[in-house]
Structure 1
Amino acid sequence: MFYPYGFYFDGTYLLIIIGAVITMIASSKMNSTFRRYSRVRCHCGLTGSQAAERILNQAGIYDVSVQRVRGNLTDHYDPRNKVLRLSDSTYGSDSIAAIGVAAHECGHAIQHQKGYVPLTIRGALVPIVNIGSNLSWVFIIAGIFLGMNQSLIHFGIILFSLAVVFQLVTLPVEFNASARALKILGNTGIMYGDEVAQTRKVLSAAALTYVAGAAAALLGLLRLVLLFGGNDRD
């Protein structure tokens, strides 16, 4: 849509704005929920790292180490090195939120041990996505500068779509890890009923961030398709 004085408005920017808003809302929800339950102590008295060690041992996993990593909510499981890394806000805290997050990461370690297929697929996609996401815009921009070369642009869009596939595959991996965490916490007696319900709120808020990320990625891909996905222009 054109406006006076030569200004041009690209309506597809709305897709990016919507994606950014969705992501910010989900992130805000996650942070506020984590802060709320980080002030609630778990009756078991275990810290996040201690709970993780207990869960791993009860699952028969003895070759995964638990380490501290800097940052806030930077918790993750590294399947290549078999290391469960817990952030400063999780490692030494005995809160509901900390133990819930630690249990969630243990869920990934258990997935790895049992050969959970979506986790395997996601792991295989990581190097491809890392390369594809970096090169996608190179091909798209090169195609634009070379007179709207559709072959280059379309190849760039295909590379970008790999990141979208990665986001979508991530969803069942994260949902399953949370489900495993909640089941473990309840069955092992680390948490009681009310505490499990509170942990579910924390992990549900965390899951929203992955849903938001997938939605934003899909909207970004839709924008590229709308802008450049057509046939060659005259």
Structure 2
Amino acid sequence: MELIRCFLFFWDPTHFLVIIGLIISMVASSYVNRTFKHYDQYRSQSGVTGTDAANYILQQSGISDVGVQKISGNLTDNYNGKTKVLSLSEATADSTSVAAIGVAAHECGHAVQDKKNYWPMRIRTAIVPLANIGSTAAFPIILIGVLLSWNQTLINLGIAAFSLALLFQLVTLPVEFNASHRALTILSEGGVLSSEEVPMVRKVLTAAALTYVAAALSTFLQLLRLVLLFGGNRNDN
């Protein structure tokens, strides 16, 4: 009974927004894993590996200053524009599945964006430090504002800081969708994938993109909760 009372004391209706965000993220993550595992069972007709596909795309795109390496983990693939290194996970690098080729191609899409100075990618890179600082400092700033007799100026500053995380998530969306589009175009036009395999890879990349949509929705719901809890027009004491 005491535990229930404590729970009710700290509970407020806006917690539902956090729960909804968590559910959305969990569903998106589960969906991308299921989709990857499903199409990971389909071997590509060309017989190329994820690494082969990555090297092919880089070569076809005239990119010679990007290295390709294998890293540990599952779906930990990433492209680092600062070091010019494309890292493929163990589940991707040596696999000949259409799913692995799709993931490798997507990361190459980021390398192509980098080469072509794709402006949404430049914006995302520029706001990363601000987004990291904002998301880290937001809650302490809000807490200090509350402790200082509900100082609305500080509270609003904290909310604004957290909104930078949402801005980052929103800018990320066109970057990720564009990378997938570039990858599919190169793979299909270059004959790496057959006409039957292209739709399979598209489903894998669409599922992966949904995780970014889910992240943006979850961050928005967290921001909405902060506004509902602390964004009222209260006078400073």
Letter of the aligned partner of 1:130 in structure 2?
Answer: N
How far apart are the structure 2 equivalents of 1:141 and 1:46? 54
Which of residues 160, 165, 168 is equivalent to 1:158?
Answer: 160
Letter of the aligned partner of 2:167 in structure 1?
Answer: V
Residue ranges of structure 1 left out of the alignment (5+ in a row)? none
Aligned structure 1 segments of 4 or more residues deviating by more than 3 angstroms: 4-9
2:98: which partner in 1? 96
Q: Identify if the C-alpha distance between structure 1 residues 148 and 185 changes in structure 2 by more than 3 Å, giving closer, same or farther.
A: same
Question: Which residues in structure 2 correspond to 1:151-230 (within 5 Å)?
Answer: 151-230=153-232
Deviations along 1:171-215, whole A, 9 cap, x unmatched? 000000011111111000000111000000100100110000000
How far apart are the structure 2 equivalents of 1:167 and 1:86? 23
Percent identity, aligned pairs only, is 56
Question: Which residues in structure 2 correspond to 1:29-108 (within 5 Å)?
Answer: 29-108=31-110
> Which of 12-21 and 126-135 deviates more?
126-135
Which of residues 12, 16, 24 is equivalent to 1:14?
Answer: 16
Residue 128 of structure 1: how far off its partner (Å):
1.1
If the length of structure 1 is used for normalisation, what is the TM-score?
A: 0.95
Letter of the aligned partner of 1:197 in structure 2?
Answer: P
Residue 36 of structure 1: how far off its partner (Å):
0.7
Residue 5 of structure 1: how far off its partner (Å):
5.9
Deviations along 1:59-105, whole A, 9 cap, x unmatched? 00000000112211111110011111111111111111100000000
If the length of structure 2 is used for normalisation, what is the TM-score?
A: 0.94
Deviations along 1:107-133, whole A, 9 cap, x unmatched? 000001001010000000111111111
How far apart are the structure 2 equivalents of 1:80 and 1:126? 13
